[in-house]
Structure 1
Amino acid sequence: MSLFNKNIVVLCLAKSGRHLAMKVAKSRSGLELIKSRILDGDHEFSSLQESLDISANDYFVLCDEGSLSVSVNLALPKLAAKELRNAVSFELGNKIPLPVDAVQWGYYRDKDSCQLSVISYEAWDEFILATHEMAFDFFVSSSSLPELSDDLKGLVNKQGENDEALFEQALKVASFCLSNDMNVLKKTMITPPEGRRLKHRFVSKYIMVACMVYVLTSLLMTGLTYYKGKNQYSSQLKSRIAQIQSATPQVDEEAFEYLNELNSEYSSILEKAYSPGAILDELSLRLPAKYLIKSLRTDGLSVNCELTSQDGVLDTKEIYNAFVASDVFTKDIPISQRKGSLQLNLTLNEKGVDHD
C-alpha cells in the first residue's frame, strides 16, 4: 500500500441477509486473517466497528457475493477520464440488459482491459439504505476480481460449508486491495455518497506524516521566498500551506493530496512568469498610449521591442521614464532611434512578471 501498511476490513453482502465481515492484514508470509464475523441481518452492522476493532487507519471496502452486482470486461486502451466514460457508456449498452443510465459502475485496469463492477441504481439505493450510516471507501463486485491463489484457498477450506462462498469472495477482495494502490482504486471504483465516504486519519503514524509535510512545506517555502512578488496568489498558497502544516499530527490523506495540488499549481504560476503573453501585458501597461508595438522578440531574460508612434513623434526620454519605474525590468534600458521607430532593449529581473 502506498503510505502505511494498513489493515483492510471487507463486508461481503448477500441477498439472503447472511453477511460476512473480516479484517485482514498484509504480512511477510502473505495475508493474515485477524478477525471475521457472520452477520445475520442488517441490524448487526451497528456493532461491527467494536467487534472487529476497526480503527481510523483501516480501509473499509464493501462487496457482494454475486447476487447484487455483475462484472463486465471491456477491452479498452488507456483513456482520459471523459473519453473512458464515453467509451464505457457506449460498450456497456451491449453487455447488460438495462439502460446505461440506470446503473452505477466502477472499474480497475487489468493490462489492456477494464474490469467493471456494475450495479443498478435500484439495488444501489437498497444497498445504501441497508448499511445505514456506515462510512466506507468503495464498493466492488467480487466477481470482477482475480481468483484466489492456492495458498489462500487453504484459509477458505477451514470455514464452515455454509459460509465458504461468502468467505472466499470477501478474501478475494481483501487480497486484491492489499496488493494494489488504494488511493487509485478509490478514484475509479463505485464510491459512496459524499456524506458516507470514509476519512482516514493516521494518528498512530503522525511522526512520519509530520516529517513529510515539513519537507514538502520547506521546499515550497524556499520557492516562495525566492520568487516573492511573482504573483499575488503566492501569498494565498503560502497561507493555505501553513494551515495544512498546523493540522499535524492529525493530517489526513486528503490534506496530502491537496498539498501536492498546491505545489503543482505554484509550479505552473512560475512557468507563466516569463511567458510572452505576460511580457506583452507588462509592455502594454508601461507604454504611453500613443506608442504601438511593431515587433517583439524574447530570448531568455532579454526583450527586444520595436516601437512606432501614432503621431510620428518619438521621444526616447519619455520611453525611458516609462520603463525605469518598472520593477519587472532592470534599470539598464538601451534605446536607439531609427527612421520612424525606436529600438527598445530590456532585460527582465530574475523574479519575472508580476501582475496583481
Structure 2
Amino acid sequence: MAAKLLESYKIKNVTLNNRIVMSPMCMYSAENDGKVTDWHLIHYPARAVGQVGLIMIEATAVTPEGRISERDLGIWSDDHIEGLSKLVSMIKMHGAKTAIQLAHAGRKSTVNGDILAPSSLPFDESMRVPKEMTSEEIVETIDAFAKGAKRAKQAGFDIIEIHGAHGYLINEFLSPLTNKRDDAYGGSAESRFRFLKEIIEAVQQEWDGPLFVRISATDYHEHGLNVNDYIEFAKLMKELGVDLIDVSSGAVVPAQINIFPGYQVKLAETIKHRAHVPVGAVGMITSGLQAEEILQNDRADLIFIGRELLRDPYWPRTAAKQLHAEINAPVQYKRGWD
C-alpha cells in the first residue's frame, strides 16, 4: 500500500506535494518592528529543503497590540510585505507551498500599552487586565484581518490560516469563559461566533485562495466549550467557505491537560466526520507510522508537525524511511539522501 502521507493533496487551486504541514510555531525572532529577520530566512526554507509539503509561517499579528510579544512577526503595515515576500520566494524555491497564520493575541498579549479582549478578564493573576473592546475596536480589528489578508496575497502566500485557537482573541470571543459581553458579540453561541464569522467574510473580500481556521476544540473546563460545540462552529465555517479546520485544543483558560502521543487526533476525527469538513491533525505526532495510521483510517486530511520539525528539519525523509517509501531529494543532497 502506498504511503498516503506522501501523496499530493489539492485544496482549491493549490496542490501540496505531500500531506505534511509545518505547524505554525512562534520564533520570537523579529525585531520590535515585526519584520522578517535572517533567522526566519534560514529556519523556514530549511524545512522546505527537507521536503515539507506546506510551510505555515508562525502567528503573524494584524495589529501592533495583537502581538503575543514584541518579537513577533507582523503584517499590520505595507512595510512588512517586502520581507514576507522574500521569505515566500525562498520557501517556494524548494517546492513547498506557503501559508501564513493571521493572528491577534487578545488578552494574552505582553506588549506595552493597552491590550484588548472581548471582556475585561485577565488570563491568570500574573497577566494584565485587558481593555474590553468597544464596537469601534471590533470593527477596526476585523478590518485589520482583511488588510492582513490583502498583504499576504501581495507577498505571494498560497494559503491563509486564521488563528482562532489557544486563548487568543478570536478564541476569547468564542468561549463563554472569556466572553461576558451583552451586545451582538456575546451571549448565545451564534453571537459569540459572530466575530469570527465577520473576520472570515472580511478576509474573503481580499482573498480567494484556500482558507484554514485553527481552533481549540475543547476548553478543558466543565463550563467551557467542547468538541460538540465546535462541530456546530465547523459546520458554520464550512458554509462560509472555509476549506479546512486545523484542530488543536486548550489554552483559553489555565487547565490541566492530559497530554500523550496524538492526544488531539480524536478531536480532529470527530469534527471531520460529524461536520463533514477536511481537517488537520496536530499534537505530539512524531513518527511516519503514527501519521500514516491517522491518514489511512480517514481520521484527518493533513498532518501538522510542530516540535518534531524543530528537532529534525528533514522529518519527511525520516518518515518516508519508516514507511519504506521514497520521497524526492533536493538535487544537491541526492548523494547523501538514501
More contact order relative to length (CA 8 Å, sep ≥ 6): 2
The TM-score with structure 1 as length reference comes to 0.26
Q: Which is richer in strand?
A: 1
Q: Which has the larger radius of gyration?
A: 1
**TM-score, length basis structure 2:** 0.27
